Structure 1
Amino acid sequence: MATLIAESAANTPPPGAPASDGRSGIRLRRSIGLWQLAAIGISSTIGTGIFFVLSSAVPQAGPAVVISFVIVAIAAGLTALCYAELASAIPVAGSSYSYAYATLGEIVAFGVGACLLLEYGVSASATAVSWGQYLNEFFGTAFGFTIPEALAAPPGDGGYFNLPSVILVAMCCLLLVRGSGESARVNAIMVAVKITVLVLFVAIGLTGFHSGNLHPFMPLGMTGVGVAASSIFFSFIGMDAISTAGEEVRNPRRTMPVAIILTLVVVTVLYLGVAVTAVAAQPWQKFNGQEAGLAQILQDVTGSSWPATMFALGAVISIFSVTLVTIYGQTRILFSMGRDGMLPPRFAKVSPRTGTPVWNTLVVGSGVALLAAFVPLDELTDLTSMGTLVAFTVVSAGVIILRRKQPELERGFKVPGYPVTPVLSIAFCLYLIYGLHVSTFVMFGAWLAGAAAIYFGYGIRHSRLAQQPAASATAASATAASATADAGSAAGGEGEKAVRPVERS
């Protein structure tokens, strides 16, 4: 496959200034710092799983669900290191899509983009679905009334139309169109709340620790542990959300790797603490179908409603922040695909006032709201795991390919133990993919078939590579690379180096 010398990341402007993509001149504003970026990662992770996934994962693995979390944490940790290297080398919007574009070529990148859209869209829907459960738990314990189950429960689980999820998505979209910096600040506050709530759960829940609840530890064998691990993997998409913000981060080469690793450490410690506390405080058979399960555990342990009320309120805030960040990530992936010509130009437009892709936010919000309102929760979580695992596999492969093709490229972080680390990451991801249900593979195949139809019907004819002759691209790249180098020198070495995307044959 021939290669096209082209620029995929332009120079880093001063903090607060817009970031040019180096390709089309369309800009996103750099307004996000380290702690706000880490909050994005933590927010998109904590809540997508731990607040409701135990009700489906524990019946599959029993108390050994703790091992499932350990397996997933190892796989996510290996992948996080790969993300950290690529994020420091290619700090642009688009996450795995942009990395695949630079290392594996246009058609693979489009497929990865489709996986990411599935991952983020379905993940946002899955978390929004559970918002009504915790909202009812809070209303019930604090005020003595609840939203009718038909309007608050997940579809297929007693509900028909999940109204709270639609309201939640609308509020998130309203905040996102106001600007990424403002959204990040609000999100950082909500992350502090959710961490406090989970620490409170562990502190109170451990008072109800009963070793008898841990026996038998693995009632369904290692097969159950693997199946549970596959289904909960979607709860570790935080580092992917961080990489979608590459063009809106100040000093991305140093900030993004630190934020990714910080996110993984915080999330893993909290997840394991909550999982151990939950299965020790309640018999594993009671988790099956349990609504607002963690709040119920607190109420059973204390015999009082106030801890459950506080926890339910914290969960309401937490799930809001998760939905906010996952919708944010999806809009930035659409932005990158539109900018590359893979999707119509409207997806690459940003508001001149707020610097945000308003159209993308409206499109994503509509799709997420429809899924959350009408699709059962279990089907949503498995599809999210599939999209996440495929994207993680591509990122790990991208590290190996970029090391071989462009060893001279400046990297703010390098994967330790290369090439063993990315190879192990790929192996873990494939193992978890193997544990997913057959129906998930069928739905995922149908999604990819639809994506292929869009690519061959539109993207292949309108993409940037299709419209830019190789000779002119090379000349443009040389000019852009020179400008980048000059800007980097003036900014003390902060310029971003050129990356050579793979051209389709």
Structure 2
Amino acid sequence: MVEDHQTAEAPPASSGSGAGASGRPPLTTRLTRRKPVERVVDETGQGDDGRLHRSMGMWQLTAISIGATLGTGIFVVLGEAVPDAGPAVVLSFVIAGVTALFSALAYAELAGMIPASGSAYSYSYATMGELLAWVCGWCLMLTYGVSVAAVAVGWSDYIDKLLVLTTGLSLPAELAGPLGEGGIVNLPAAAVVLLAMVALLGGVRESAWANLVMVVIKIGVLALFVGIGVTAVQDQNFAPFLPLGMGGVSAAGATLFFSYIGFDAASTAGEEAKRPQRDLPRAIMLSMVIVTALYCLVAVVAVGVLPWDRFEGTDASLATILTMVTGTPVWSLVFTLGALIAIASVVLVVLYGQTRILFAMSRDGLVPRVFSTVDAKGTPRANTVIVTAFIAFLAALVPLGHLADATSIGTLFAFGMVNVAVLVLRRIRPELQRGFRVPLSPLVPLLGVASCAYLMLSMGISTWVAFGSWLVLGLVVYFGYSMRRSRLEPGNSTHTAALRE
């Protein structure tokens, strides 16, 4: 069956009338060639010089998704969302969570069926063809790479805050920001990326356990907030519950949706999971449940302690609220440390995801072979070092500006493609075994596509310009390099060898 699909979807060079002068198929055929699901699965774990090792269980996979999702957002996001929704901000979290759930369900079905490191890129390759898969992978490069740099800059800010709280001193401006933003180099931002690299080079098992420990700590910090804050909740702070109506709730929900981005990170670990068909869907769904429950609990306690109309224009962070409850500023230090751990976890997991997506694209020939070379421990060492160097450079020296904003569009585009992939595979490959199935299909995947499209269209022109520029660059790379080096390109030695396998 595998060979039949490969022959049909990646035909060898022919001198027939359908081929170009060079003996290659027409351009449209090359752009829409698909990589069969069976072949994606057969190749999982295979690099150029070795294999990735299956070493992660369900809890480590769950921690990867939580680690990428539960970052600094919840520590500061209430100050932005509560003025829009009032006490009903908890409904906004639920709405945002349900919106994210549409795509999470799609990821759960495909991650169990196609446990590949490429995540949405691999799913698109198996369903919509090489060009759209490339665009999806290119968007993921933007999402993962630039977001790591942006999060690392946030880590630098918290390091500065920690120094002020403990010593009264702050970082020299020259060492805390890039040129154009009052500095010369952001050393702490580069440092946290390099620390994440050291953890990843130590092995995926070790870095997964390190992330699990950090996830437990940051969940503990939020649980501490709920446990202490609930003692000061006042019923009158919930009335009126909808002071700005459902319009305000919806507006806050759109803002809060981006607090859920990251749940898909476990899908990039598909080739290093011990039991991917069983554990990946469970990890994705469990992480969504845990994150949504934490967000809602924190929101209820926060607005129960502090009247909603006092959030706007004030420092209404969780640390400030606990300081009000307890009368001691020690919580600013506790939550600064919690935020540092939260950000370090995000940097580690998202950097990991970026290397695995490039691993999958390299194995397909779309990016250089060096990114799919693994060592004896199953670590893509060169890949990790190259990606880290690039991201550390971005974090330390480049003002990210609208490029960082464009990461949200890149993520939403990938989410939309995953929902479409579910619909396509249900139609063209209904016989494939699915350990998890999206309920109420095609309604739920269609809602996933619609919600992603709505949020993308709600973004500003400058963000779209940055995103469009990134896509144009990606198309130049694809037509100038990747298309001709694809393993599905007739005439390539790797293509011929693949057909014999």
Q: Could you state the TM-score of these two structures normalised by the residue count of structure 1?
A: 0.83
1:317 corresponds in structure 2 to 341
Contact kept in structure 1, 2:127 and 2:425, CA below 8 Å: yes
Q: 1:280 to 1:124 in 2, by over 3 A?
A: farther
Matched, 1:328 2:334: no
Contact kept in structure 1, 2:485 and 2:492, CA below 8 Å: no
Superposition map of 1:159-308 within 5 A: 161-210=185-234, 225-226=249-250, 228-282=252-306, 293-308=317-332
1:414 corresponds in structure 2 to 437
Contact kept in structure 1, 2:49 and 2:373, CA below 8 Å: no
2:39 corresponds in structure 1 to 8
1:76 corresponds in structure 2 to 100
2:121 corresponds in structure 1 to 97
Contact kept in structure 1, 2:54 and 2:271, CA below 8 Å: yes
Instruction: Tell me the distance in 2 between the aligned counterparts of 1:299 and 1:53.
Output: 18
Superposition map of 1:352-367 within 5 A: 352-367=375-390
Q: 1:379 to 1:476 in 2, by over 3 A?
A: closer
Q: Please give the per-residue CA displacement for 1:317-346, whole angstroms capped at 9, x wherever unaligned.
A: 121111100111011111111111111112
Q: Which runs of 5+ in 2 are unaligned?
A: 1-7, 11-34
Instruction: Tell me the distance in 1 between the aligned counterparts of 2:268 and 2:491.
Output: 25
Shift of 1:440: 1.3
Shift of 1:276: 3.0
Q: Identity of paired residues, percent?
A: 50
Larger deviation: 69-78 or 288-297?
288-297
Instruction: Tell me the distance in 1 between the aligned counterparts of 2:240 and 2:481.
Output: 55
Q: Name the SS of the counterpart of 2:202 in structure 1.
A: coil
Shift of 1:143: 4.5
Q: Name the SS of the counterpart of 2:71 in structure 1.
A: coil
Instruction: Tell me the distance in 2 between the aligned counterparts of 1:342 and 1:117.
Output: 13
Q: 1:221 to 1:277 in 2, by over 3 A?
A: same
Q: Could you state the TM-score of these two structures normalised by the residue count of structure 2?
A: 0.84
Instruction: Tell me the distance in 1 between the aligned counterparts of 2:225 and 2:177.
Output: 23
Instruction: Tell me the distance in 1 between the aligned counterparts of 2:238 and 2:175.
Output: 36
Superposition map of 1:145-164 within 5 A: 145-148=169-172, 151-152=175-176, 161-164=185-188
Contact kept in structure 1, 2:60 and 2:209, CA below 8 Å: yes
Shift of 1:399: 0.5
Matched, 1:429 2:452: yes
Q: Out of 15, 24, 33, which is 2:57 matched to? A: 33
Contact kept in structure 2, 1:234 and 1:384, CA below 8 Å: no
Q: Which runs of 5+ in 1 are unaligned?
A: 13-18, 481-505
Residue 413 of structure 2 aligns to which amino acid in structure 1?
A: V
Larger deviation: 240-249 or 151-160?
151-160
Pair member with larger Rg: 2
Q: 1:333 to 1:191 in 2, by over 3 A?
A: same
Instruction: Tell me the distance in 1 between the aligned counterparts of 2:66 and 2:448.
Output: 21
Shift of 1:26: 5.0
Residue 39 of structure 2 aligns to which amino acid in structure 1?
A: S
Q: 1:448 to 1:461 in 2, by over 3 A?
A: same
Q: 1:52 to 1:331 in 2, by over 3 A?
A: farther
Contact kept in structure 1, 2:74 and 2:259, CA below 8 Å: yes
Q: Out of 450, 454, 478, which is 1:455 matched to? A: 478
Instruction: Tell me the distance in 2 between the aligned counterparts of 1:79 and 1:136.
Output: 37
Matched, 1:342 2:348: no
Contact kept in structure 2, 1:229 and 1:432, CA below 8 Å: no
Shift of 1:288: 6.0
Q: 1:458 to 1:398 in 2, by over 3 A?
A: same
Q: 1:155 to 1:231 in 2, by over 3 A?
A: farther
Question: C-alpha root-mean-square deviation of aligned residues, in Å?
Answer: 3.3
1:500 corresponds in structure 2 to none
